[in-house]
Amino acid sequence: MRALLCSLALLFAVSVPSLAAPPPSSLTPPQQRLLRGGWRRAGLTNGWVYVHLQGTPQQLGFQHGYLLAPEISDALAMFKLKLPHTTGKSWHFYRVAARDVLLPHIEKQYRQELQGISDGLRAHGVRADLLDVIVLNAFEELPYYYVPWYNKLHATPTPPRVQAQPNCSAFVATGSYTKDHNVVMGHNTWTSYMTGERWNVIFDIVPQHGYHILMDGFPGVITSNDDFGINSAGLMITETTITSFVGWKNDGIPEFVRSRKAMQYASSIDDYVRIMEAGNNGGYANDWLIGDRKTGEIARLELGLKHVRVWRTRDGFYGGANYPSDPRVMHDECPGFNDTNIRLSPNARRARWHQLAAQYKGKIDLKRAEAFESDTYDVVTKSKHPCLRTLSGHGELDANGYDQWAWGAYYPGGTVSNKVVDAADAKAMRFEAAFGHADGIAFNAAQYLKKHPQFAWEKPFLNDLPAGTWTEFKAGEK
């Protein structure tokens, strides 16, 4: 077993190029023109990579692929190990799905951007084509929504258990709930640590058409995907994934396309809802939390496939913790979801959001939002007890796990990043972010694997995750 892991580590390590990109002078004149206007900040800023993309869809893609080639290559290698292991489907299976199911429904501008990422990768010396890039962009919706649908349709014998994965603890508040009566939003990303350690890019995107975007994201992916971002039209966007959701529409528009388009072109809550609903394929089903800094209005968009519901207010608090809110979505599209057992992660975190909203009504600001996203109070034990029931999640410390996510005891997953923003920040196109656990608890991969050898298959790609430091990021930084 040890020899196999060492071989795997070597196999995947040699596929990742050096951080040093080929100098722009080595590019052809057309490639140099595509790269013009794009740049990345040298090194890491408290764990984050900051990259600026600007121009046509082809330029955005080429800059993205070229500037983030090492990170994208690493992410592709990781998923080529993870997806077959966890879903029983080969990388070839996913490439076929990208070609036959997703590609026909990707509109021209985003197809050009995705192709540009592939072109930028090749200019950097990374071998990955358009289909590889599409699979990477669909790493949430293909494995956890399309695969269960496919297995049921084809009566796949004894397939591995695949469940929609958790993504996040989030809130949005306005009116009498916030200190200045304007919108405040917070979000932390939950995922497996092996994936989440790579979810560390701050994207500053100035597209040829549409609004300026500042968002966190994953290398090689054209949308935020966890999701947290703001645009120059005044929208503030985040979400949490709906636990136990089942549904897929094979001829729909990929979720990563709709969410990027909504971030790029929506200037109102109505716009955002319309774009997300149009062509909904059921992939990556979320409760979207939306704020409009111009009006002070906030909304929750629960986007099921059979049912869609929108709540809106100029005076309120919406929390998100991977639970469905509409009874129709819960009963018709989330089979097996138990909304009454307080010991389950979504229900415990929902109860904690209710406590915090009541306790800090009228006092919520950026500092309070940071404290919310770092919170490790467990409503069951009534104590500080970091686990999967706390807003800042720690699967590696939880002996119970959570069956509805197929996360067993001491699963290496939980919170991997944190972001907060208020209306003043959004107007200035900036937000605060902390990579890792903002609650101060670091994750040490070597120590963890020594205690939990059942996850040794992750060793080639499981890295340390730091205790996060809050850092301000602003559009247009150099």
Looking up residue 214, the CATH number of its domain turns out to be 3.60.60.20
pLDDT: which is higher, 380 or 8: 380
Tell me how far apart the alpha carbons of residues 103 and 194 are, in angstroms, rounded to a whole number.
27
Whether residue 42 is contained in a domain is answered as no
Whether residue 191 is contained in a domain is answered as yes
Tell me how far apart the alpha carbons of residues 212 and 261 are, in angstroms, rounded to a whole number.
12
Residues 233 and 361 in one domain: yes
- Residues 456, 84: contact at Cβ < 8 Å? no
- Residues 221, 141: contact at Cβ < 8 Å? no
Residues 300 and 409 in one domain: yes
Residue ranges making up the domain that contains 127: 2-20+57-153
pLDDT tens digit sequence for 422-454: 999 999 999 999 999 999 999 999 999 999 999
Whether residue 104 is contained in a domain is answered as yes
Question: What confidence category does residue 64 fall into, taking pLDDT thresholds of 50, 70 and 90?
Answer: very high
Question: What confidence category does residue 118 fall into, taking pLDDT thresholds of 50, 70 and 90?
Answer: very high
- Residues 176, 315: contact at Cβ < 8 Å? yes
Residues 143 and 214 in one domain: no
For residue 16, pLDDT beyond 60: no
Last residue of a domain, one of 118, 153, 188: 153
Average pLDDT over every residue of 2-12: 36
Residues 176 and 141 in one domain: no
Tell me how far apart the alpha carbons of residues 248 and 150 are, in angstroms, rounded to a whole number.
9
- Residues 306, 333: contact at Cβ < 8 Å? yes
For residue 15, pLDDT beyond 90: no
Whether residue 49 is contained in a domain is answered as no
CA angle 373/78/47 to nearest 5° reads 40
Tell me how far apart the alpha carbons of residues 374 and 419 are, in angstroms, rounded to a whole number.
10
Work out the percent of the chain whose per-residue pLDDT is above 70.
Answer: 95
pLDDT tens digit sequence for 272-298: 999 999 999 999 999 999 999 999 999
Judging by beta carbons within 10 Å of its beta carbon (0-12, 13-18, 19+), is residue 399 exposed, middle or buried? exposed
Question: What confidence category does residue 4 fall into, taking pLDDT thresholds of 50, 70 and 90?
Answer: very low
Sign of the dihedral defined by the CA atoms of residues 363, 369, 375, 377, in that order: positive
Residues 12 and 128 in one domain: yes
pLDDT at 12: 35
Pick from 118, 112, 74: which is nearest to 95 by CA? 118
CA angle 280/283/285 to nearest 5° reads 90
Residues 120 and 264 in one domain: no
H, E, C per residue of the chain: CHHHHHHHHHHHHCCCCCCCCCCHHHCCHHHHHHHCCCEECCCCECCEEEEEEEECHHHHHHHHHHHCHHHHHHHHHHHHHHHHHHHCCCHHHHHHHHHHHHHHHCCHHHHHHHHHHHHHHHHHCCCCCHHHHHHHHCCCHHHHHHHHHHHHHCCCCCCCCCCCCCCCEEEEEEHHHECCCCCEEEEEEEEEHHHHCCCCEEEEEEECCCCCEEEEECCCCCCCCCCEEEECCCEEEEEEECCCCCCCCCCCECHHHHHHHHHHHCCCHHHHHHHHHCCECCCCCEEEEEEECCCCEEEEEEECCCCEEEEEECCEEEEECCCCCCHHHHHHHCCCCCCCCCCCHHHHHHHHHHHHHHHCCCCECHHHHHHHHCCCEECCCCEECCCCCCCCCEHHHCCCCEHHHCECCCCCEEEEEEEEEEHHHHHCCEEEEEECECCCCCECHHHHHHHCHHHHHHCCCCCCECECCCEEEECCCC
Last residue of a domain, one of 125, 153, 181: 153
For residue 11, pLDDT beyond 70: no
For residue 401, pLDDT beyond 70: yes
Tokens 């599209």 label which residue?
333
For 283, phi and psi rounded to 5 degrees?
-70, 140
Q: How many domains does the chain have?
A: 2
How many other C-beta atoms are found inside a 10 Å radius of the C-beta of residue 34?
Answer: 25
For residue 198, pLDDT beyond 60: yes
Question: What confidence category does residue 167 fall into, taking pLDDT thresholds of 50, 70 and 90?
Answer: confident
Last residue of a domain, one of 153, 181, 203: 153
Structure tokens at 45: 């800023």
pLDDT at 155: 96
pLDDT at 24: 72
Residues 245 and 144 in one domain: no
For residue 6, pLDDT beyond 80: no
Residues 224 and 102 in one domain: no
- Residues 20, 405: contact at Cβ < 8 Å? no
pLDDT: which is higher, 346 or 26: 346
Whether residue 33 is contained in a domain is answered as no
Residues 222 and 291 in one domain: yes
Question: What confidence category does residue 20 fall into, taking pLDDT thresholds of 50, 70 and 90?
Answer: low
pLDDT at 222: 98
- State the average pLDDT for the chain: 94
Whether residue 25 is contained in a domain is answered as no
Residues 331 and 360 in one domain: yes
- The number of angstroms, rounded, from the C-alpha of 420 to the middle of its chain's C-alpha atoms is 15
pLDDT tens digit sequence for 209-259: 999 999 999 999 999 999 999 999 999 999 999 999 999 999 999 999 999
Whether residue 52 is contained in a domain is answered as no
- Residues 430, 476: contact at Cβ < 8 Å? no
Whether residue 338 is contained in a domain is answered as yes
How many other C-beta atoms are found inside a 10 Å radius of the C-beta of residue 327?
Answer: 11
Q: Alpha-carbon Rg of the chain, whole angstroms? A: 21
For residue 5, pLDDT beyond 60: no
Pick from 467, 5, 462, 466: which is nearest to 194 by CA? 462
Residues 425 and 296 in one domain: yes
* Strand 201-207, strand 49-55: pairing: parallel
Judging by beta carbons within 10 Å of its beta carbon (0-12, 13-18, 19+), is residue 402 exposed, middle or buried? buried
For residue 2, pLDDT beyond 90: no
Residues 92 and 6 in one domain: yes
Question: What confidence category does residue 21 fall into, taking pLDDT thresholds of 50, 70 and 90?
Answer: low
